A and B are shown apart, each in its own frame.
Chain A
Amino acid sequence: MPDVSLAPHIITTIYGWPITNAMLASLVLTVLLALVGLYARATFRLVPTGLQVVFESMTSFFMSQLQDAFGSEKRARRFFPVLTSLFIFILLANQFSVFPLITSLIRDGVVVFRTPTTDLSLTIGLAVVMIGGAHFIAFSRAPLGHIGNFIKIGPFFKVRSFAGLFDAGIGFFLGFLDIVGELAKIISMSFRLFGNVFAGEVMVLIIASISASTAYVLPIPFMVLSIFSGFVQAFVFMILATQFIAGTVGSEE
């Protein structure tokens, strides 16, 4: 049985803060992405070449996706940077184990880089930021109206009959179910991403370690499958975040 652990290993501590291998990997990835972005901006030309073509086609594709979700171009433009960088980050983070030698670096018996999205803390963090951010924007736009969506006291003031009171009571309790639903969104988004990526890695690891004959050729189809599912999950995470933000923030402006 290969050594599989759900929790990332702690490499070192800085002033009592544990630094895990997943955190280090996501930090390196973030810095690399920022550098590539700055390089692409510095070499921007009227006639696109190489890297610029990739960025431009990605921009136009995601702008059309976001316009479908948000309805207006102005609003799509506002949420475009955070959602697209979320997609690029998750996409590259899922493929971390594909690059050779990076995940084989070992210091003091601990792997130095671990695929960032196989750490549940990262996926929960991303989901909390997305859902929490959507609620923060909706709250700062219309505080009472947003709270009124969840704690439904408003209908009680419009009650005319006994049956109306009954309906308002049911609506009041359904409001609490909506609060649970928001928490469930965070759990479902983060567990979906974590489970897919982690399962892909564990499957390759277990198949490679069954016997010497399965260690070389047999894991390749499963690696291809895990690359594909990493791509799909990054896209799904981004689309779900878009839909939740569009649904929470609303379409009024």
Chain B
Amino acid sequence: MSDVAFKVLAAAICMAIGSIAPAIAEGMVASKAMEAIGRNPSLQDSISPKMIIAMAICESTGIYALVVSLIILFVA
């Protein structure tokens, strides 16, 4: 295989494996937040922003994978 093919393959594998864990984590955060809202709907205004912040923090490992694959594709 050529260099470019290896780069594309490496970026694809990096992204594919790196996005598994953040997806599971975000799903867990969302499901727990929905559960809490269902239990006490009057707290929705206080829960939703916290849920979004927690999701953004869970997302960060996926973002690292993304940055690494962008570096593989466009810099290295």
In the complex, residue of chain A having the shortest beta-carbon distance to the beta carbon of B75? A6
Separation of A194 and B56 alpha carbons in the complex (Å): 13
Separation of A198 and B73 alpha carbons in the complex (Å): 14
Q: Which of under 10, 10 to 19, 20 to 34, or 35 or more describes the interface residues of B?
A: 10 to 19
A202 in contact (CB, < 8 A): yes
Q: Is the interface of A mostly helix, strand, loop or mixed?
A: helix
**A192-220, CB < 8 A from B:** 192, 194-196, 198-199, 202
A-B CB pair tally, cutoff 8 Å: 43
A232 in contact (CB, < 8 A): yes
Is B63 a contact of A191 with CB atoms below 8 Å?
yes
Is B56 a contact of A192 with CB atoms below 8 Å?
yes
Q: Residue B70 contacts which of A6, A188, A235, A236 (CB distance < 8 angstroms)?
A: A6
Separation of A233 and B53 alpha carbons in the complex (Å): 8
**A1-42, CB < 8 A from B:** 4-7
B67 in contact (CB, < 8 A): yes
Q: What residues of B have a CB within 8 angstroms of the CB of A232 in the complex?
A: 52-53, 56
A241 to chain B, nearest CB (A): 13
Q: List 14 A-B contacts (CB under 8 A).
A: A4-B74, A191-B64, A191-B67, A192-B63, A194-B67, A195-B60, A195-B66, A195-B67, A196-B59, A198-B70, A232-B52, A233-B56, A235-B52, A239-B53
